[in-house]
Amino acid sequence: MSQDELKQQVALAALKYIKPLLQPDAIIGVGTGSTANFFIDALAELKHDFKGTVASSDATAERLRGHGIEVFDLNEVSQLAVYVDGADEANRKLELIKGGGAALTREKIVASVAKMFVCIADESKAVETLGAFPLPVEVIPMARSSVARAIVALGGNPVYRVGVVTDNGNILLDVHGLSITNAKEMEAKLNNIVGVVTNGLFAQRAADVLLLATLEGVKTLTVINTSAGSGEFY
């Protein structure tokens, strides 16, 4: 089974998982990236079952509207029934690294107002320790060098993602060389650097559920059933 087939499989599983939440007044958050795109395409079949969506990026909003799904500004919405998005890495605590698609700030904002965060990924994204995937950090452009020096002091190797500008008009530094054993602490340290908008660690607001596509089918994982020694994580 190819990676795209795994992504499609987990997208369909996510649609089935959230279907009970798709009430006529429900608004759902939708993430960004290739796995999220499979979810959007599947979601189109149920577009008359719920009120609309909030998108985490301009690209996601465009894809949703292309399917005839209404997209609301988050300022018009007090709470989301659920947020569905992919990840670049996920650990046993369902803490994530996100931002490979450069939408980390808006993804983090949308996730923060959702009652439930459902992460969808294929088994290649499941890791014991976060950090093999370079951690994205969104930075105000004038602070690029000063932020990079501060990241080096924390033990990371920041690399400027050349030619990429976020939907917010900022730049990205991808931090290599980290082995993140305390994700909440690292998330806070990075966010406290002056000039950082946010970073791609989703630990303060981790996923509530991880749907993980494997060759044996889609596993539904929570922090409880992925606790140490359970033997249920990938």
Closest to 117 in 3D by CA, of 146, 94, 93:
94
First to last CA, the chain: 16
DSSP secondary structure of 165-183: --TTS-EEEEEES--BS-H
C-beta of residue 116 within 8 angstroms of C-beta of residue 10: no
Which of these is catalytic: 89, 95, 107, 138?
107
Is residue 95 annotated as a catalytic residue, yes or no? Answer: no
Phi, psi of 12 (to 5 degrees): -65, -35
CA nearest 144: which of 165, 173, 119? Answer: 173
SS3 for 25? Answer: coil
Catalytically active residues are 107
